[in-house]
Amino acid sequence: MTTTLTVPTITQAPRLPAIQQSLTLAWRNVVKIRHQPEALMDVSLQPIIFTVLFVFVFGGAIAGDWHDYLTYLVPGILVQTLMFATQGIGVALNNDIAKGVFDRFRSLPIARSAPLVGAVLADVVRFVTSIGVLLAFTAALGFRTTQGFASAALAVLVAIGFAMSLSWVFVWIGLTVRSAGAVQGVGFLATFPLTFGSTALVSADTLPGWLAAFTRNNPVTHVIDTVRGLLLGGPVAEPLLWTAGWSALLLAVFVPLAMRAYRRRV
């Protein structure tokens, strides 16, 4: 071996460093998905399983006719599967820390936020997969949007935007909790009441008073109502405003918490 490996030099700071570094680390996560397509199994199967379960098992009992229920259900399942998809990030970050990959990142002259932002950005691939599978599967069952393509695209964007804000909660949990298994435990505890206590499966009007009050003020309900309005018609402005507000609140609280946990995590 005759090549000179390293004549020591000082690394120059790149222009717009934080953005480029976040994109590079998002690329890393996307490459990992490409190497292991089975990593997308959960987000591909979940929308199908939930749809089959609710439409065919409960649909007749809830709505009398599974076809009508399918129409009501798709916006709910769309948001619900994204809620479950956001948890993966906590497990992935926890693994990165356990394997020492984050030690390397932390020793590099890069923006502190880049590994976390990169992971959140890469999860868009999971969200798009989940939504794509759901819409294709339910379209085959007869689901049709009524508000046109642009409105449907906006619905997808709103749902993904909320999911990216919610991701920071799981980034924080993933950096705080000791093991990947614990991340999943905490994640499911938080996600179940929020998704099932929303308008995903049934209208709030059918619920007892106290639960209806919870459901009407549940952020997930606002997201689902927005998506439902954009896909099938109905009021959009008010739930959209609530969704934006909740997303902003999640970011304002959990981005700083996650960054602090990242700096501290040994």
Partner 1 sequence: MTSDSPVIEATGLTLSYGTTRALDGVDLTVPAGTVLGVLGPNGAGKTTAVRVLSTLLRPDAGTARVAGFDVLADPQQVRRRIGLTGQYASVDEDLTGSQNLAMIGRLLGLPRAAARARAAELLAGFSLTDAAERSAKTYSGGMRRRLDLAASLVGRPQVLFLDEPTTGLDPRSRTEVWDVVRRLVADGTSVLLTTQYLEEADELADDIVVFDTGRVVAHGTSDELKHRTGAQTLTVRPRDRADTPTVLQVIEQVTGAVPTLDGHGTASVPVRSETVLGTVLDLLTTQGIALSELAVRLPSLDEVFLALTGHATQTEKEPVS
User: Which residues are at the interface with partner 1 (CB under 8 A)?
Assistant: 1, 3-14, 17, 20-21, 24-25, 27-28, 31-32, 35-36, 99-101, 103-110, 114, 266
Q: CB of 21: closest distance to partner 1 in angstroms?
A: 5
Tokens describing residue 2: 């005759």
> Least distance (Å) from partner 1 to the CB of residue 92?
10
CB of 27 to partner 1, least distance (A): 7
Give the DSSP H/E element, type plus range, for residue 103. Answer: helix 101-106
Residue 35, judged by CB atoms within 10 A of its CB (0-12, 13-18, 19+), counts as exposed
Report the sign of the C-alpha dihedral through residues 202, 205, 210, 214, in that order: positive
Query: Reduced to 3 states, what is the DSSP secondary structure of residue 251?
Result: helix
The CB-of-20 to partner 1 minimum distance in angstroms stands at: 7
The CA distance from 236 to 226, in Å, is: 5
